[in-house]
Amino acid sequence: MSRVSYSEGMSLRIALLGLLTASGPASGYDLAKTFETSVAHVWQAGHSQIYPELAKMAADGLVAVEAEGPRGRKIYTITAEGSQELRRWMLDHSPSATYRSEESLQAFLMPLLDPREAIELLQRMKVHYETKLAQMEELRRNHPAMRRKGEGWGHFGVYALDLGIRRVRATLEWAVDSIADIERRL
């Protein structure tokens, strides 16, 4: 079992390899669109990042230009080497522990506010997460069988969506309980 260490910044490559595996050959333009509607909840990238990355990946033999379409359209396919790379990352790579979020920073600094202000802030957060949760749950409702044959998946990986919903729900509960906690001490 070959121990390979992956640098943090492999993830864009991996996401692209994943999409190419799931939806078959596609152009950079296609991939950018797919990014917006599927992986976006989990990883973001614009075309200005995707085009050069695909070029580098082609140079590294992970993808290949299968054909060239009408207006300079280049269709990329994943190579055997690319598939191998993707599999290795999925199986061997432990996600880096570095975590960063503005919400958590606000949570951390919460004691600096006086109780009334903290409650106000938490209430805004609560509303935000409620709408977010509703959106995600609707997304799931609209795609009960998200793995379509041929297509690979609908709008969002089932597992990732489930994970996302659980996390948002946990955050929402945190906000609600924190409000109650602060009000009790008021």
Q: By the criterion CB under 8 A, which residues form the site for its own copies?
A: 11, 14-15, 18, 21-22, 39, 41-44, 86-87, 90-91, 93-96, 98-113, 117, 120-121, 124, 128, 147, 152-153, 156-160, 162-164, 166-167, 169-171, 173-174, 178
Of 2, 48, 94, 101, the one binding DNA by CB under 7 A: 48
85, 87, 93, 95 alpha-carbon torsion, rounded to 10°: 100
Backbone angles phi, psi at 65, to 5 degrees: -80, 110
Tell me how far, at minimum, the Cβ of 30 lies from DNA, in Å: 6
Q: Is 73 in the site for DNA (CB under 7 A)?
A: yes
Tell me if 51 sits within 8 A of 14, measured CB to CB: no
Tell me how far, at minimum, the Cβ of 97 lies from DNA, in Å: 10
Span of 22-30, 146-154, 161-169, 176-184 interacting with DNA by CB under 7 A: 22-30
The one-letter amino acid at 28: G
Of 2, 5, 94, 98, the one binding DNA by CB under 7 A: 98
Q: In whole angstroms, give the CA distance from residue 159 to residue 149.
A: 17
Length of the chain: 186
Tell me how far, at minimum, the Cβ of 82 lies from its own copies, in Å: 12
The closest alpha carbon to 88, from 29, 148, 14, belongs to 14
* Shorter beta-carbon distance to its own copies: residue 59 or 112: 112
- Give how far Cα 157 sits from Cα of 48, 65, 142, 175, 180, Å: 24, 26, 13, 27, 35
The one-letter amino acid at 63: V
- Give how far Cα 54 sits from Cα of 29, 74, 84, 149, 185, Å: 11, 10, 17, 26, 56
Of 4, 40, 49, 92, the one binding DNA by CB under 7 A: 49
Question: Using CB distances below 5 to 8 A depending on partner kind, what does residue 70 bind out of DNA, its own copies, none?
Answer: DNA
Question: Using CB distances below 5 to 8 A depending on partner kind, what does residue 69 bind out of its own copies, DNA, none?
Answer: DNA
* Binding-site ranges for DNA (CB under 7 A): 7-9, 11-12, 27-30, 32, 44-49, 51-52, 54-55, 69-74, 98, 100
